[in-house]
């Protein structure tokens, strides 16, 4: 039996991408120069930060390394020694690009990898000049390591000399998904949206390669276990690629005719007024696995047929649990899930927008309470959205309002220390949780502090929601189309503690706004932040 390792199992899932990242690819304008095998790696800034920047003063700096992976710590060490100033490491430390502010000056070995993997292959827009590393000379406090990109030679240079600077950062699979999502903002639908036939959008033709824009997968199986076709029946002409599932299905139907088999089940399907369904090709099936199964927005079984034939005896299936694709006897049984391709006219878009607004208005009216000025989904005084009304008069406030936009897309919860007083999860405890976190952690750039310091439209009384408050935001706003939330994890202010499972020193509560699941997340993970207030 042949086996094909799908991209799901080697590089996590990446929305809209048919392959994992490669050296030289761009993320948020920067250039990938190292891959870690887990969907992440290291990337450079889009361009040089300076053309004539000194390395720093000639004083002893202990603790820098030339090794790969040491650039971030080197930069911290240098900045802690020098403080604020116009020097190479600080240029990188204060740099911010596309909402990312975790840049640093590369170590000697990281700089050389940039030269070998990017410059020598024509990537990165580097110039034939010298670039600083964050590695100090091992012999003197007056020099630091640099690399001449015209020759590739690395050498020590006086720190007062002025060379070019290019910042770098680590990126994760989450970053890749976020950037892929940004590329589709001009499109009416996003991956994971419910399509016009009631299924889920799993691919968008961003590159305009096809005569359709979207691929939609049915929300349920058309069969949990059925055959592909007859053994020994060679179809011929089927393909593996995206955009070929419809033609594959027609070839199979023309060859096998009437009957009960995977392609025919899809071909005969009519669902919510749509009858243009077909059996996905192998790569279309893989996209469903990467972009929808991983989001857990609907149920899938383990194995599914594709419309891609391998031989007269076998066709391709995919195991959605492992991501493996393999050839299976055509008279064996696997699941069947149909897909369709479509475009939207401007009139259809207007009709959908009108229907969505009508649904939101229905939510607002259903939640309206006599005697209260605001209802769920209304714009509050600070410009955010009302998501809870204290109709029972339990609190000394009437409304909860969530900010209009995220305050961060990649903030940590905080240090891996226990925060006494921040374990409450109930409605009305977010403010006290936030205050407890601030008291323990103090200044810094972390979720509760970001909310505590937030000010907009003259209001500065924001805090990080508790676990139950965050869930109300998900249920009352996000599920009803309010708030422009991302399909991503959001932090709550509730620390998690259970002596039998996970330690509260390391874990806090979050919520996945793709499927609504509340999750325990390590505090040093990077997730989104949305502040709330009461009034």
User: What does the pLDDT look like over 151-188, one tens digit per residue?
Assistant: 999 999 999 999 999 999 999 887 776 676 665 556 78
| Chain-centre distance for alpha carbon 515 | 14
228 Cβ neighbours under 8 A, 6+ residues apart: 261, 262, 263, 305, 315, 328, 330, 331, 332, 334
Instruction: Indicate the helix (H) or strand (E) that contains 163.
Output: strand 162-165
Q: Three-class SS of residue 30?
A: strand
Q: What is the rounded CA–CA span in Å between residue 214 and residue 203?
A: 6
Residue 498: the pLDDT is: 61
DSSP type of residue 478: G
User: Where does residue 335 rank: exposed (0-12), middle (13-18), buried (19+ CB within 10 A)?
Assistant: buried
Q: What is the rounded CA–CA span in Å between residue 383 and residue 257?
A: 60
Q: What is the rounded CA–CA span in Å between residue 192 and residue 514?
A: 8
Asked if 265 and 292 count as a contact pair (C-beta separation under 8 A), the reply is: no
| Chain-centre distance for alpha carbon 414 | 21
The reported pTM is 0.56
What is the DSSP annotation of 369-430? -TT-S--TT-B-TTSSEEEEE-TT--SS-SEEEE-SS-SEEEE----SS--TT----STT-H
Residue 12: the pLDDT is: 32
Q: Both ends of the chain: CA-CA distance in Å?
A: 64
User: CA torsion sign, 512 to 515 to 519 to 524?
Assistant: negative
User: What does the pLDDT look like over 474-523, one tens digit per residue?
Assistant: 999 999 989 989 888 999 999 987 644 445 468 899 999 988 899 888 88
Q: In what order do the strands lie in the sheet with 518-522?
A: 408-411, 527-529, 489-495, 507-512, 518-522
User: What does the pLDDT look like over 123-142, one tens digit per residue?
Assistant: 998 999 999 999 998 777 78
Q: Three-class SS of residue 154?
A: strand
* Half-sphere exposure for 474 (CA within 13 Å, toward CB): 23
Token look-up 């020097």 returns 87
Residue 99: the pLDDT is: 75
User: What does the pLDDT look like over 226-245, one tens digit per residue?
Assistant: 999 988 889 988 999 999 99
Q: Name the H helices within 6-165.
A: 7-11, 71-82, 88-93, 108-117
Report whether pLDDT(277) > 90.
yes
Asked if 283 and 343 count as a contact pair (C-beta separation under 8 A), the reply is: no
What is the DSSP annotation of 282-312? HHHHHHHHHHTGGGTSS---SEEEEEEE-SS
345 Cβ neighbours under 8 A, 6+ residues apart: none
Instruction: Indicate the helix (H) or strand (E) that contains 451.
Output: helix 447-452
3-state secondary structure 205-234: CCCCCCCCCEEEECCCCCEEEECCCCCCCC
Residue 50: the pLDDT is: 76
Residues in the chain: 535
491 Cβ neighbours under 8 A, 6+ residues apart: 411, 413, 447, 464, 508, 510, 521, 527, 528, 529
459 Cβ neighbours under 8 A, 6+ residues apart: 381, 382, 533
User: What does the pLDDT look like over 341-389, one tens digit per residue?
Assistant: 999 877 887 888 888 788 888 888 888 888 899 999 999 999 999 999 9
Residue 259: the pLDDT is: 93
- By mean pLDDT, which of 15-29, 152-166, 297-311 is the weakest? 15-29
Across-strand partners of 131? 147, 164
């Amino acid at each position: 039996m042949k086996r094909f390792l799908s991209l799901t199992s080697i590089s996590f899932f990446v929305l809209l991408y048919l392959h994992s990242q490669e050296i030289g690819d761009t993320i948020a304008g920067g250039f990938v120069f190292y891959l870690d095998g887990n969907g992440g790696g290291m990337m450079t800034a889009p361009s040089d930060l300076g053309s004539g920047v000194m390395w720093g003063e000639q004083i002893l700096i202990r603790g820098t390394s030339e090794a790969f992976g040491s650039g971030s710590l080197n930069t911290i060490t240098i900045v802690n020694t020098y403080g604020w100033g116009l020097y190479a490491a600080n240029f990188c430390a204060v740099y911010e690009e596309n909402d990312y502010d975790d840049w640093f000056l590369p170590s000697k070995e990281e700089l050389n990898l940039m030269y070998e993997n990017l410059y020598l292959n024509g990537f990165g827009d580097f110039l034939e000049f010298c670039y600083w590393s964050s590695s100090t000379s091992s012999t003197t406090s007056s020099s630091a390591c640099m690399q001449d990109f015209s020759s590739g030679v690395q050498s020590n240079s006086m720190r007062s000399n002025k060379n070019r600077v290019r910042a770098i950062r680590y990126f994760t699979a989450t970053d890749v998904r976020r950037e892929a999502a940004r590329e589709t903002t001009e499109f009416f639908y996003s991956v994971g949206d419910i399509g016009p036939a009631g299924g889920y959008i799993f691919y968008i033709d961003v590159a305009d390669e096809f005569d359709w824009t979207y691929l939609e997968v049915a929300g349920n199986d058309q069969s949990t276990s059925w055959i592909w076709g007859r053994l020994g029946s060679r179809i011929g002409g089927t393909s593996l690629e995206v955009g070929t599932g419809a033609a594959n299905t027609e070839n199979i139907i023309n060859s096998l005719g009437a009957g009960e088999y995977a392609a025919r089940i899809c071909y005969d399907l009519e669902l919510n007024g749509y009858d243009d369904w077909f059996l996905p090709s192998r790569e279309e099936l893989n996209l469903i696995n990467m972009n929808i199964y991983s989001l857990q927005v609907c149920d899938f079984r383990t194995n599914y047929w594709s419309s891609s034939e391998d031989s007269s005896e076998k066709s391709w299936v995919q195991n959605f649990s492992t991501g493996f694709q393999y050839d299976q006897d055509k008279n064996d049984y696997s699941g069947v899930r149909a897909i369709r391709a479509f475009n939207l006219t401007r009139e259809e878009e207007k009709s959908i927008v009108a229907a969505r607004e009508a649904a939101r208005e229905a939510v607002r009216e259903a939640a309206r309470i006599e005697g209260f000025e605001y209802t769920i989904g209304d714009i509050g005084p600070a410009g955010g959205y009302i998501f809870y009304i204290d109709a029972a008069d339990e609190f000394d406030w009437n409304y909860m309002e969530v900010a209009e936009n995220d305050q961060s897309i990649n903030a940590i919860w905080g240090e891996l220390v226990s925060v006494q007083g921040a374990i409450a999860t109930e409605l009305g405890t977010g403010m006290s949780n936030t205050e407890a976190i601030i008291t323990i952690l103090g200044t810094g750039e972390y979720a509760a502090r970001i909310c505590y310091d937030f000010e907009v439209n003259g209001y500065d009384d924001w805090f990080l929601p508790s676990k139950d408050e965050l869930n109300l935001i998900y249920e009352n706003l996000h599920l009803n189309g309010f708030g422009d939330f991302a399909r991503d994890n959001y932090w709550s202010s509730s620390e998690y503690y259970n002596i039998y499972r996970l330690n509260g020193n390391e874990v806090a509560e979050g919520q996945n706004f793709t499927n609504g699941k509340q999750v325990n997340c390590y505090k040093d993970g990077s997730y989104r932040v949305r502040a709330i207030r009461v009034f």
